[in-house]
Amino acid sequence: MMLHCVPEIFTYRKLIMSINYRAAVFFIILILTMQMSKSTLAQSVTIGGTPSDTPELEFMSMFTGDLFANFRHMERFAPVSTMTPGPIPWQINSEITEIKFKGKFLGQEISLEEFIETSDTSSFLILKNGNIVFEEYRHGDSKDTVHVSFSIAKSFVSTLVGIALEEKLIDDLSDPIKKYLPELTSDTFDDVTIKHVLQMSSGVRFDETYTDPNSDINKMGVLVMQMSYLEYINTLKRKNQPGTYNHYASINTQLLGILLARVTGLSLTDYMVKKLWHPLGMEHPGYWVLDEQGHELAMGGMSASARDYAKLGLLFLNKGKREETQIVSPEWVKKATTPTETHLLPGDNIKSSNTAGYQFQWWTPRKWDGDFLARGIWGQTIYINPKNQVVIVKLAADQKNFDPTIKLAYIDYLQELGQSLVN
């Protein structure tokens, strides 16, 4: 701080020498106070946008001000890597039709227009039988703008794990994660398999309360400025036996990103461009937020356009194919989206901290109907209903989504919408 003040002190040198000692001291203190106030004007916040006493991080400032603009421009808050558009774009046909739908939301019936307004949605797409039948943008979004994924990124990362498995870069999902990452020395991860990590069942103790400044997810941002993510993961303790309890902890996905970089010999960005982004024919650039060491924020730091998010939904709707090209196997698509173990099933489940179901970084609604979704904490969603051949993309900057009751009500509404669009 004093180094910043030296120029000002010398600027007023003659003035200080010309007045008495007490006035000089007062004058210097005044200058120091002005300098300190410049560095403390901005209030530090949590990922959930609530006030925090933690040191202010430039990345966290994205959760204040115009959130819609911030979520379109992650590069303003952190370094990013770029995924270039695919050389052969997958152009999705538009057959816009009028959607007359009313669904239940918190005990009331509301129209789709009311739902979009209520949920602070900035991009909303409905695809039916592979065609866009509804497309609306607000708050500065357009078909050409990108929007941060938050935890939608997890479903992309999971898909890359499936591809790496099919390329035999990973021997088996039942392999211990330590087999590939010997630097993972903490006994917390003894007996933890890749499958456990995919299923958010590693047993790691990790508090993901986004609005609590003292939660692990919020304190992590400060700690990883001093160490790598792998070093940070080594500090975490165990809460449950691996493979017995579903507890959502984003640090699991960060571990999957580290795993992918290790087994592929490529950055997460480069592997995704090669195996998913370009094969899917993404129309727009995509981005990954990078940490202090230049590694991707696999747990939720991706950005893409609404139409490009929809392509992941179409890929899974079409059992891993883009038109005639198989990108990931149909076996992986089914395995990744179908809860198979007791602690992963939707509904009131004493073996899970969630009412929704879970599998390989994909969710199911609490009243599961064979449908599944990727979702992000500020209201980002890719919802897929295979029965009705429906994909819904919703991008938002909605702080209400941090309320578990409202978050589940949003998913229920999207599910009802998807179920209404019968063939």
Expressed in percent and rounded to 5, the helix, strand and coil fractions of the chain are 40, 15, 45
The pLDDT score that the predictor gives to residue 30 is 30
In this predicted model, what pLDDT tens digit does every residue of 285-317 receive, in sequence order? 999 999 888 999 999 999 999 999 999 999 999
The pLDDT score that the predictor gives to residue 62 is 87
Do the Cβ atoms of 96 and 135 come closer than 8 Å? yes
What stretch of H or E contains 302? strand 302-305
The pLDDT score that the predictor gives to residue 31 is 30
What stretch of H or E contains 240? none
In this predicted model, what pLDDT tens digit does every residue of 204-245 receive, in sequence order? 998 877 677 777 777 776 677 778 889 889 999 999 999 999
The pLDDT score that the predictor gives to residue 58 is 65
Do the Cβ atoms of 218 and 207 come closer than 8 Å? no
The pLDDT score that the predictor gives to residue 215 is 75
Q: What is the DSSP string of 43-70?
A: PPB-TTS-B--SPP-TGGGGGSS-HHHH
Q: Residue 160 phi/psi, 5° resolution?
A: -65, -35
Q: What is the set of domains in the chain, with CATH numbers?
A: 2-63 (no CATH), 67-420 (3.40.710.10)
Do the Cβ atoms of 347 and 389 come closer than 8 Å? no
Give the contacts of 141 (CB within 8 A, at least 6 positions apart): 68, 72, 122, 123, 147, 306, 395
pLDDT tens for the chain, 423 residues long, are 333 333 333 333 343 344 343 433 333 333 333 333 333 334 565 555 556 555 555 667 888 899 999 999 999 999 999 999 999 999 999 999 999 999 999 999 999 999 999 999 999 999 999 999 999 999 999 999 999 999 999 999 999 999 999 999 999 999 999 999 999 999 999 999 999 999 999 999 988 776 777 777 777 766 777 788 898 899 999 999 999 999 999 999 999 999 999 999 999 999 999 999 999 999 999 999 998 889 999 999 999 999 999 999 999 999 999 999 999 999 999 999 999 999 999 999 999 999 999 999 999 999 999 999 999 999 999 999 999 999 999 999 999 999 999 999 999 999 999 999 997
Q: Residue 299 phi/psi, 5° resolution?
A: -70, -15
Buried b (16+ CB within 10 A) or exposed e, 46-66: bbbbeebeeeebebbbbbeee
The pLDDT score that the predictor gives to residue 409 is 97
Nearest-angstrom CA–CA distance, 354 and 249: 12
| 152-166 helix and 306-317 helix, angle to the nearest 10 degrees | 50
pTM of the entire predicted model: 0.87
The pLDDT score that the predictor gives to residue 292 is 81
CA angle 343-344-347, nearest 5°? 90
CA 273, 277, 282, 284 dihedral sign is: negative
